[in-house]
Amino acid sequence: MALAGRQVLVIIGGGIAAYKSLELIRRLKDRGARVRGVLTAAGAQFITPLSVASLTGEPCYQDLFSLTEEAEMGHIRLAREADVIVVAPATADLMAKMAHGHANDLASTILLATTAPVLIAPAMNVEMWKKPATRRNLEQLKADGIHVVGPGAGDLACGETGPGRMAEVPEILAAVERILDAGPRPLAGVRALVTAGPTLEPIDPVRFISNRSSGLQGYRIAEALAALGADVTLVSGPTNLATPADVRRVDVESAREMWQAVRDALPVDVAVCVAAVADWRVTSPAAEKIKKSRDGLPALELTENPDILASLAALPAGERPRLVIGFAAETEDVVRHAAEKRRRKGADWIVANDVSGGAVMGGARNRVWLIRGDDTPEAWPEMDKAEVARRLAGEIAAHLAGAAEAEGSA
């Protein structure tokens, strides 16, 4: 196990999500890690030092100017003895300190002094998360090599809704394990693009055309590609999922917004189009809510949306990704329809899945067929979507390695 015997330092920032850090410590210990806790002054407004100490089995560290600890240069010891440092929750204030190299308390001093990998789990109000200053700080932290997991979207403690929820404990644990796992990274240097989730096409200010996609399969694919070392951009329709660790996420709503975000992400080596993009949109959405009428149903004129998969596949040489992969959600004659879609859209591979039972879109498991250029279907057994993602990422890595070897011997 990646965590067995490893030293993990958990820095707890000041936010209502601090309570999750106690569960994180417990689960890290369950997996064999040795855990120390640093509680910021703001964090101590939400949980107690005694709670942290009870779960870690060590003192809870708080004070940069502690006579007992700093006589032994405690902040340096904490910084250097950790195999990984997890900041959860990472507040806007902590992120700003890290991005600008501040060191005015124990937490920020440790983070500036450490040579260990650092993982942050941001958590804050939705408007704070969206602010340009926070976005700049986030990009600076990523450029500095800081790993990021989350945040997710949903109901926040402040009563608002949107991105800003701290990633759930299992997601943070998985990110820590990936960081500590010294396994091969065959996709290092590869740029990958993944689309995920549904699109929303407005009818009027309160109604829209959409579908049942949860985005989970696309998010797991982005996560699996990043775990193999790829530089991943995830273009996502509306979901309630946390951003996978080490993945750059761009949020969109409509198909046209998704296509623009995809174009902005180019050039890439691999594109995996998992998003369930609405085929049609209302030509002229109503500016006001459409009212019921005794005159009958409203007439909705539809127009075709951009075909993102076909457009990517049709890009000229030099701009087209080396590998373009689509997904085909079908309800009958799954393999035949998927193979026809691959040829029609010009994709290199297509992943077919049967959604007729209603348990795949929005569910945790999937059964797929991988169809490559010769249209011979490769049936995979039903498995968790994370396992589907890992297997597909492995196939992508093998394909690119084979292509590189062939080019080298040509």
Digit-coded pLDDT (tens) for 199-255: 999 999 999 988 888 999 999 999 899 988 899 999 999 998 888 878 899 999 999
Evaluate whether 195 touches 326 at the Cβ level (below 8 Å).
no
Closest C-alpha to 25, from 57, 70, 62, 73: 57
Average pLDDT over residues 13-25: 93
Percent of the chain with pLDDT over 70: 92
Average pLDDT over residues 78-88: 90
Can you give the pLDDT at residue 243? 85
Confidence of residue 71 (pLDDT cuts 50, 70, 90): very low
Q: Is residue 60 among the annotated active site residues?
A: no
C-alpha distance across the termini of the chain, in Å: 42
Confidence of residue 299 (pLDDT cuts 50, 70, 90): confident
List pLDDT tens digits, range 150-201.
888 776 666 677 778 898 898 899 889 888 876 678 998 999 999 999 999 9
Say if residue 362's pLDDT is above 70: no
Q: In whole angstroms, how large is the CA radius of gyration of the chain?
A: 23
Confidence of residue 66 (pLDDT cuts 50, 70, 90): low
Element (H, E) at 402: helix 385-409
Can you give the pLDDT at residue 111? 93
Lowest mean pLDDT among 67-76, 344-353, 366-375: 67-76
Say if residue 144's pLDDT is above 60: yes
Lowest mean pLDDT among 3-7, 41-45, 385-389: 3-7
Confidence of residue 383 (pLDDT cuts 50, 70, 90): confident
Percent of the chain with pLDDT over 90: 58
Can you give the pLDDT at residue 79? 84
Average pLDDT over residues 273-295: 89
The one catalytic residue among 4, 157, 158, 314: 158
Q: What is the mean pLDDT of the chain?
A: 88
Can you give the pLDDT at residue 359? 55
List pLDDT tens digits, range 54-65.
999 989 998 876
Evaluate whether 343 touches 375 at the Cβ level (below 8 Å).
yes
* Backbone dihedral angles phi then psi of residue 176, each to the nearest 5 degrees: -60, -45
Say if residue 74's pLDDT is above 70: no
Evaluate whether 31 touches 173 at the Cβ level (below 8 Å).
yes
SS3 38: strand
List pLDDT tens digits, range 317-329.
889 999 999 999 8
The amino acid present at 376, given as its one-letter code, is T
Neighbours of 58 (CB within 10 A): 12
Say if residue 358's pLDDT is above 80: no
Give the residue with greater pLDDT, 161 vs 119: 119
User: Which strand ranges, in their side-by-side order, compose the sheet holding 191-196?
Assistant: 247-251, 231-236, 191-196, 270-273, 323-330, 349-354, 368-371, 377-379
Can you give the pLDDT at residue 298? 82
Average pLDDT over residues 365-370: 90
Using CA atoms in the order 374, 375, 381, 383, what is the torsion angle rounded to 10 degrees? 100
List pLDDT tens digits, range 330-355.
888 999 999 999 999 999 999 998 88
Measured distance CA(158)–CA(155) in Å, rounded: 8
Can you give the pLDDT at residue 307? 95
Supply the DSSP string of 322-357, one letter for each residue.
SEEEEEEEESSSHHHHHHHHHHHHT-SEEEEEE-TT
Evaluate whether 254 touches 200 at the Cβ level (below 8 Å).
yes
